[in-house]
Structure 1
């Protein structure tokens, strides 16, 4: 079978045992370093992807894909706009809402919250609020019943639970014989939810939209319309299209724009983690350089003999590049396989380790995410593997050039 001479000798050098066992150890350490670096990169980026997905789903459990609101906080004639938006093929659900900042008081405790008036029968079309109820239900909401749903953190902080009364204090005021007083209304807690996001569980509350219209003096008006799309990643283009169609009388925003800073921070952190962990592969590549330099010094006589037999310096260079590349490629491939297997089974491995050591990595009473999520992207695997392969090949250039520069006469003079 035909085998190029450079490949044949490079494979033989890779398999052969060195007189200096330290060279073999450094070569093995280089391969293991590349393998561990690739494995760690794939695993960490998969965990970062998992956290991003988990947070995105929790945010979208409360936030709609696209929001159409009035420029002054009020949207009149919203029923016609509701019907118009429903004809869009990309729209899966629409729900009106009224929104105001208020104060909630109970048991001597006062908290500022974002109060949202909703239509219970339409809310499930744009959010997962009903799915995350710990106690009670939105079915208890009715016009003039003055029921309220609050988050678990808010309920704990003010000591109000199912059946308890809370006082809602609005920023608008009314004039009475006793002077100017804030508008207040008593509500009964009928539902408690847990979205596993502190911002929502501690500072949001929901009431019936008709009750909100009376409380905030917005009869016949709403703050806006929340829209759910068939593809959440098309939210930006749909929002831009709707803004052009509806004009400047309304404001159209999407979930990505509203949470741009948050997701930008996650992407920046993911990028920085990639470059930091890539240093493991870089260090392993430097180890590969040192091991190949020692191999070249160890094979001085062999190189000289090959040169006297007529092999060109370019072929000598290829031999040692092949030898180094085999070490690098082996480490990158083994690391990629190990990374895919580890990242794909983290949800099984982590609970097993927690049971073995008897400790939780993310205790549920401290962290909102009590498990380590993982989402493997093959694009990340390919990017990391290719980066490791490129570094491994680049690491062979200097030692291979040194091997090609060996002078046969000088090397064989004292042999």
Structure 2
């Protein structure tokens, strides 16, 4: 929509009306503010939800892989052929053996439930999520046969532990006596403390070399799980379809969707619902633009009639009032984009400041799972929100612009 010089001049004057139209200017300002808040709220909420899902996915997949092969009885006895088959499957990046076993851990009278994870030393040190998030101690101090472990930071906080302290692991698989099975209690040296960023993992994981875990659990040379990573997490089902049939007689193959189905499905549903609920704010703002333009047309009825008698066409009137409405919507959209960018950039300091002044824990990691407020901006989604805002503004300017263009100057000026 190209405006001539005089159309641009009139549109600018109508955007900033005189004192007699102060109320119209107030309504237009409220409309602009509503568009700003609506666009900002939608971008912020969708970015936070995208970030939450992406962060949760990265953490879960980073520690659990895209899929696992687990024995029917909790153990894979003849596991090496299965491991080789998994590694040779097209689309598989890596396959590593694991042991996972729930145990109890104690220190100076405190007791917590933990999840023991046994891994090969190369796999522990090669895991980026663990290696890059050591908060205390040294990962190189973890060595096979040295009775050393690494633990999550939340578990360390619960038991009052630091790197260099000892932790006792209690295994129910102990010696059988005439009085029953005596649990095994073994003390381990804490080599390092890590923080993955997922509360449940940081509170539960105790990681040790594979051979030490087999000794503690008296598993000989067996393992519990084979963790698999593929080239594409979204197509993990198709990539591992052939492997699923080959391992069916010894274990079950589960991918990340199956293991976390309820969580990710809930996030997807909540994301869609939140989008449409917050989109209503933009629609309400567009209704405000409609009402302000209707009042502006009524207030400028005489001016429109004079312009028409001076030779202004109906198309010019249509373009002028559409430009006014689109300017309000466009400025509000731009301001909303800027506001959302600022809030997203300073999101964690804002949460910390609110928590400090209110005295409330707004982001309890034990409830929110993730330890910090995440955000990930999707440019395509932002463009869609901007298109929704501008499109709504355009649609709601059509009626008042048409009314202005339909003004009959003879009727308006008859009694002037």
TM-score when normalising by structure 1: 0.80
Partner secondary structure for residue 122 of structure 1 = helix
Cα separation, 2, equivalents of 1:21 and 1:37? 24
Contact kept? 1:97, 1:222, Cα under 8 Å: yes
Alignment correspondent of 1:190: 190
Alignment correspondent of 2:181: 181
Cα separation, 2, equivalents of 1:235 and 1:46? 26
TM-aligned CA deviation for residue 284 of structure 1: 2.1
TM-aligned CA deviation for residue 306 of structure 1: 6.5
Contact kept? 2:363, 2:373, Cα under 8 Å: no
After alignment, is 255-264 or 382-391 more displaced? Answer: 255-264
Contact kept? 1:93, 1:126, Cα under 8 Å: no
**Residue 144 (structure 2) pairs with residue 142 (structure 1):** yes
User: How many pairs are equivalent?
Assistant: 406
Aligned counterpart in structure 2 of residue 169 of structure 1, from 163, 168, 171: 171
Alignment correspondent of 1:76: 77
Quick one: structure 1 residues 373 and 104, their matched pair in 2 at CA, closer, same or farther if it must change by over 3 Å? closer
Cα separation, 1, equivalents of 2:28 and 2:160? 64
TM-score when normalising by structure 2: 0.80
Contact kept? 2:11, 2:323, Cα under 8 Å: no
Quick one: structure 1 residues 69 and 139, their matched pair in 2 at CA, closer, same or farther if it must change by over 3 Å? farther
TM-aligned CA deviation for residue 297 of structure 1: 0.9
Cα separation, 1, equivalents of 2:363 and 2:305? 69
After alignment, is 97-106 or 147-156 more displaced? Answer: 147-156
**Residue 93 (structure 2) pairs with residue 66 (structure 1):** no
Cα separation, 2, equivalents of 1:215 and 1:301? 92
Contact kept? 2:293, 2:325, Cα under 8 Å: yes
Alignment correspondent of 1:95: 96
TM-aligned CA deviation for residue 188 of structure 1: 1.4
Alignment correspondent of 1:329: 330
Cα separation, 2, equivalents of 1:236 and 1:8? 63
Partner secondary structure for residue 20 of structure 1 = helix
Aligned counterpart in structure 2 of residue 12 of structure 1, from 10, 27, 40: 10
**Structure 1 segments unaligned to the other structure (5+ residues):** none
Contact kept? 1:150, 1:189, Cα under 8 Å: no
1:173-218 per-residue CA deviation (whole Å, 9 max, x = no partner) reads: 65312x1124313131333333233212222222332333344343
Partner secondary structure for residue 86 of structure 2 = helix
Cα separation, 2, equivalents of 1:156 and 1:326? 55
TM-aligned CA deviation for residue 383 of structure 1: 0.9
Quick one: structure 1 residues 99 and 358, their matched pair in 2 at CA, closer, same or farther if it must change by over 3 Å? closer
Contact kept? 1:70, 1:249, Cα under 8 Å: yes
Output aligned runs, 1:228-239, within 5 Å.
228-239=229-240
Alignment correspondent of 2:28: 27
TM-aligned CA deviation for residue 116 of structure 1: 1.9
Alignment correspondent of 2:398: 397
Cα separation, 2, equivalents of 1:272 and 1:67? 32
Quick one: structure 1 residues 409 and 60, their matched pair in 2 at CA, closer, same or farther if it must change by over 3 Å? same
1:376-407 per-residue CA deviation (whole Å, 9 max, x = no partner) reads: 22112111101101211222233245445655
Quick one: structure 1 residues 80 and 12, their matched pair in 2 at CA, closer, same or farther if it must change by over 3 Å? same
Contact kept? 2:151, 2:206, Cα under 8 Å: yes
TM-aligned CA deviation for residue 292 of structure 1: 0.8
**Residue 292 (structure 2) pairs with residue 294 (structure 1):** no
Cα separation, 1, equivalents of 2:293 and 2:45? 30
Contact kept? 2:41, 2:340, Cα under 8 Å: no
TM-aligned CA deviation for residue 58 of structure 1: 3.1
Quick one: structure 1 residues 147 and 393, their matched pair in 2 at CA, closer, same or farther if it must change by over 3 Å? same
TM-aligned CA deviation for residue 374 of structure 1: 3.7
TM-aligned CA deviation for residue 271 of structure 1: 3.6
**Structure 2 segments unaligned to the other structure (5+ residues):** none
1:299-325 per-residue CA deviation (whole Å, 9 max, x = no partner) reads: 323445667789887875565334323
Alignment correspondent of 2:40: 39
Quick one: structure 1 residues 164 and 329, their matched pair in 2 at CA, closer, same or farther if it must change by over 3 Å? closer
Output aligned runs, 1:176-255, within 5 Å.
176-177=177-178, 179-191=179-191, 192-244=193-245, 246-247=247-248, 249-255=250-256
